[in-house]
A and B are shown apart, each in its own frame.
Chain A
Amino acid sequence: MKKYILKRLLMMVLTLFIVATLTFFLMKMIPGSPLGNTMKLTKAQQLAVEKQYGLNKPVWQQYLAYMGGVLHGNFGMSYQYNSTSVASLIGHRVGPSVLISFQALVLGVVVGIVLGCVGALNKGTWADAASSTLAVIGISFPSFILAILLQYYLGFKLGWFPVANWNGFPSTILPTVALSAVPMAQVSRFVRTEMVEVLNSDYILLAKAKGLSVAQVVFHHALKNSIIPALTLIGPLAVTLITGSMVVENIFSVPGIGELFINSVLSNDYPVIMGLTMFYCLLLCGILLLTDVVYGLVDPRILSKEKGEH
């Protein structure tokens, strides 16, 4: 297991290096200047500012200088936010994004498991149909539409929750609910399908024959095996939530990182583009590794297979 994790960590470093290199050169191919006031600066003034940022050097030299900085933990200073380091910009904004994504994931997974169980245990009844309908709505309904509806009815009309603004736990509820629809729907579908299969297996029949109550059968035997496939979903879902929550963040004025990324691309803020790309890449690799490890721990068959291979 240790060897496996070490190998995966080395692969992570290699992936980060490749992603950073590709992003750096692709980014330099975007037309336009990173300076925001090229219209009003004279050519000489523009050249003077570019020189200060080292933008007058050949691209390969800029690349070496940047990578040298990264190795020393220096991700550079934002061009747009002239006196602010990329690390502090990301550091300030990552918290809210991670918080609402984490809450949405927990809420989505818990409700998804409940709905999946309800559907499987009541297969073919109205409860199954209702849980399926909810899942279809959750998957097909864009989260930003849900966000706008929640904001309008629960925030503006009824006044139960803050309309927007980032100010304590109440302000996180509506964005969390809006973002939880997709994980809820996906997890509920997975759990339902798996549980229907598990409930028909021999060991469940044996458990029932032993006289265990339905609750004991479900919670001690069926549920554990039914949620294993759903675990594989959680990693990618977490990353999708963190990176894809931009519109919902905007709607509820959550000071997150999504919008920072879009703005940095539109304004050619190279150090921020690089910093955020590497951050997203690290996050994805980290979560995928974590999911694989957890998956192995929950289902020891996978672990023994890995041991056999390595």
Chain B
Amino acid sequence: MNLKMNKKVVTLATVALAAMSLAACGNSGKNKASGDLNVTLKANPVTLDPSKTIETPSSSMQVQSFEGLLKFDKNNKVVLGEAASEPKVTNDGKTWTFTLKKGLKWSNGDPVTAQDYVASMRHWADPKTKSQAADKVSNLQNYDAVSKGQAPTSELGVKALGKNKVEFDFAKKQPTANVRNNFAANLKPVDHKVLAKEGNKYGSSSNKAVYNGPYKVVNWTGGSDDNWSYVKNDNYWNKKGVHMNKVNVQVTKDNNTAQNLFKSGKVQETSVTADYVKGNKNNKELHTALMATQYYLYFNGKNELTKNENFRQAVNYAFDNDQLAKKVLQDGSVGATGWVPKGDMKDPKTGKDFATDAGHLQKQNKQKAQQYWKAAQKDLGKKQMTLNLLADNTDDQKAVAEYLQSTLQKQFKGLKVEVTTLPHAQHVSRDFAGKFELNLTDWNSSVPDASDFLSLLKTGNKVNFTNNTDQKLDDLLNKANDGSQFASERYDLLQQANKQVHANADGVPLYTAAQAHLVSKHVTGLNYGPFNITAQYQYAQWKK
């Protein structure tokens, strides 16, 4: 019997080995240097409809397949896209007219017309679209009434002047930076015929949209699909500038898997996490880039201790941001030198970076910290105090929170800091409810404009979680954004607002976050930056 049983086991093992050999597929892609580009994406995109897009994976898919009037080039600069020239400004800065390039076509052969931009804006503002990205178009005339369903979408401040001219009417005078960088560089048109046909299903899969960008999206069946491709769009106006004919995307959520796929040559580009960066700093295929995401420690202006100015100043001088970035995070993030992150905005006259120009405003100074702490203790008449610090429950945020906790407790005798970590959605609900004392939070911008970060502390901004108000800061920001300033004057006003933010010390800028990617040594042209969070594959090439 034992013999018979052993025979069976041997047979089973043989069958299993045979199956393994049949399934075996070698690492043929290890030195891949031609053909299709294979890449991974961290999460599933949700939609191909720009008006419904609020997350990175969908933006990543759209940046390959759609193009607006203006666009970010590979160096993070806003340049002409489908617009033939810079816009014409009339009506005291309220009306902006763009002219389209000639001969533009959608991937199905339809011409791209001004009507496609009008249809896109109306679709965006239409309450039936349920857009959560309304912040992008809410400056248009009559937006409020249209978005509430109180006026037809035809009342929205956008119209087609013939086939090639599109006119945007804003409710208020607009600064150039706002229209170029926030509005025209972010909005994308829709083929009005396809939108009319598909209705609210527009963009829910790759065959329910047509494309005017460098690539067509192929075989994406919807939000639950993990594989699709970008195939070169022969109707794209600059198709000669597109080198890769096909890019295949695989959603890969597990970091180890993504690294194994990259190392085995199955993919040529993938994103990696801080853990990988820490252990692979010398890897030449590792690329880190700063994002337009800045982390802050906010004080609650309604709490007895955290609203005390001496306490806020004390904490502002407590941290060594460089140490936080280099020793705690170690993922390519850099310590913040001021409220506005590096790489966000440039001086229109000199081209100098806003943050560099502002100087090193956020510095550790233990002596000053002690002086302010003693003054705060005196103000409050207390020697012992306990504060709660609220943070996201991710590994990196827990590490940062622990660094802040230990630094504060070490420097300020009598202060006890307790840390509460929550999932992001719950953290946000506590932000809005004002249920925190100290709050570790971030702001991610899609606009290369310092005003976006500085306005976080403006009166009436619903994300001003500090609840502190300052008339001087409000005046400076209002003046900078009323459209009456020349670019250089506006820049100076924003620098003044930046100084005011630092003087108020309502929050502490901590670090600018970075992202990291592995890019095959055989591939060139993939660039990442604050506003190119995902690479634009149209610039990718095989190295020769």
Smallest CB separation, A86 vs chain B (Å): 11
Smallest CB separation, B145 vs chain A (Å): 11
**Residue from A39, A51, A78, A255 in contact with B226 in the complex, judged by beta carbons closer than 8 Å:** A255
Smallest CB separation, B233 vs chain A (Å): 23
A156 beta carbon closer than 8 Å to chain B: yes
- Interface stretch of the complex, out of A13-21, A183-191, A246-254, A279-287: A246-254
Given A32-B429, A48-B148, A78-B223 contact (CB < 8 Å) = yes
- Give chain A's interface residue range (CB within 8 Å of chain B): 35 or more
**Residue from B24, B253, B462 in contact with A42 in the complex, judged by beta carbons closer than 8 Å:** B462
- Interface stretch of the complex, out of B48-56, B83-91, B100-108, B533-541: B48-56
Q: Could you say which residues of chain A place their CB within 8 Å of the CB of B263?
A: 156
Given A38-B432, A48-B147, A93-B224, A163-B257 contact (CB < 8 Å) = yes
B503 beta carbon closer than 8 Å to chain A: no
B266 closest partner in A (C-beta) = A163
Q: Within the assembled complex, what's the spacing in Å between the Cα atoms of A92 and B268? A: 28
Q: Could you say which residues of chain B place their CB within 8 Å of the CB of A268?
A: 425
**B257 contacts A214, C-beta separation under 8 Å:** no
Total inter-chain residue pairs, C-beta < 8 Å: 183
A164 closest partner in B (C-beta) = B257
B442 closest partner in A (C-beta) = A39
**B253 contacts A161, C-beta separation under 8 Å:** no
**A151 contacts B132, C-beta separation under 8 Å:** no
**B264 contacts A89, C-beta separation under 8 Å:** no
Among A112-146, those with CB < 8 Å from B are 114, 117-118, 121-122
**A84 contacts B222, C-beta separation under 8 Å:** yes
**Residue from B132, B148, B226 in contact with A253 in the complex, judged by beta carbons closer than 8 Å:** B226
B431 closest partner in A (C-beta) = A39
Interface string of B510-521 (1 = CB under 8 A from A): 000000000000
Smallest CB separation, B465 vs chain A (Å): 10
**B225 contacts A92, C-beta separation under 8 Å:** yes
Interface centre among A82, A166, A251, A253 (most CB of B within 10 A): A82
**A37 contacts B133, C-beta separation under 8 Å:** yes
B423 beta carbon closer than 8 Å to chain A: yes
Q: Within the assembled complex, what's the spacing in Å between the Cα atoms of A85 and B46? A: 12
Among A150-175, those with CB < 8 Å from B are 151-152, 154-156, 159-167, 169-170, 173
- Interface stretch of the complex, out of B74-82, B198-206, B320-328: B198-206
Q: Within the assembled complex, what's the spacing in Å between the Cα atoms of A250 and B256? A: 10
Among A242-293, those with CB < 8 Å from B are 250-253, 255, 259-260, 266-268
**B147 contacts A45, C-beta separation under 8 Å:** yes
A53 beta carbon closer than 8 Å to chain B: yes
**B133 contacts A163, C-beta separation under 8 Å:** no
Q: Within the assembled complex, what's the spacing in Å between the Cα atoms of A80 and B47? A: 9
Q: Could you say which residues of chain B place their CB within 8 Å of the CB of A41?
A: 132, 134-135
A36 beta carbon closer than 8 Å to chain B: yes
Given A52-B130, A82-B52, A268-B425, A164-B23 contact (CB < 8 Å) = no
Q: Within the assembled complex, what's the spacing in Å between the Cα atoms of A117 and B2? A: 11
A248 closest partner in B (C-beta) = B254
**B8 contacts A114, C-beta separation under 8 Å:** yes
A232 beta carbon closer than 8 Å to chain B: no
**Residue from B23, B26, B47, B463 in contact with A83 in the complex, judged by beta carbons closer than 8 Å:** B47
Q: Could you say which residues of chain B place their CB within 8 Å of the CB of A93?
A: 224
Interface centre among A42, A114, A213 (most CB of B within 10 A): A42
Q: Within the assembled complex, what's the spacing in Å between the Cα atoms of A158 and B135? A: 51
Among B177-205, those with CB < 8 Å from A are 200-204
Q: Within the assembled complex, what's the spacing in Å between the Cα atoms of A207 and B167? A: 94
Q: Within the assembled complex, what's the spacing in Å between the Cα atoms of A240 and B342? A: 49
**Residue from B24, B221, B264, B429 in contact with A33 in the complex, judged by beta carbons closer than 8 Å:** B429
Given A78-B223, A81-B222, A164-B260 contact (CB < 8 Å) = yes
Q: Within the assembled complex, what's the spacing in Å between the Cα atoms of A129 and B135? A: 67
Q: Could you say which residues of chain B place their CB within 8 Å of the CB of A35?
A: 132
**A121 contacts B132, C-beta separation under 8 Å:** no
Q: Within the assembled complex, what's the spacing in Å between the Cα atoms of A283 and B6? A: 39
B401 beta carbon closer than 8 Å to chain A: no
**B225 contacts A255, C-beta separation under 8 Å:** yes
Q: Could you say which residues of chain B place their CB within 8 Å of the CB of A118?
A: 5, 9
B469 beta carbon closer than 8 Å to chain A: no
Q: Within the assembled complex, what's the spacing in Å between the Cα atoms of A268 and B8? A: 52
**A165 contacts B250, C-beta separation under 8 Å:** yes
Given A52-B128, A81-B222, A255-B224, A160-B264 contact (CB < 8 Å) = no
B251 closest partner in A (C-beta) = A253
Interface string of A82-114 (1 = CB under 8 A from B): 111000110011000000000000000000001
**B261 contacts A163, C-beta separation under 8 Å:** yes
B4 closest partner in A (C-beta) = A215
**A253 contacts B253, C-beta separation under 8 Å:** yes
**A122 contacts B2, C-beta separation under 8 Å:** yes
Q: Could you say which residues of chain A place their CB within 8 Å of the CB of B463?
A: 39-40
**A49 contacts B47, C-beta separation under 8 Å:** no
Given A48-B148, A169-B23, A251-B256 contact (CB < 8 Å) = yes
Smallest CB separation, B93 vs chain A (Å): 22
Query: Could you show 10 A-B contacts with beta carbons less than 8 Å apart?
Result: A33-B428, A49-B130, A52-B128, A80-B46, A82-B46, A83-B200, A114-B12, A165-B266, A255-B226, A259-B253
What 10 additional pairs, Cβ within 8 angstroms, besides A44-B144, A83-B200? Answer: A31-B426, A37-B132, A44-B147, A45-B134, A45-B147, A80-B46, A160-B24, A165-B250, A251-B256, A253-B251
Those 8 A-B pairs whose CB atoms lie nearest each other, nearest first: A81-B223, A32-B425, A214-B1, A83-B204, A170-B23, A92-B224, A37-B132, A37-B54
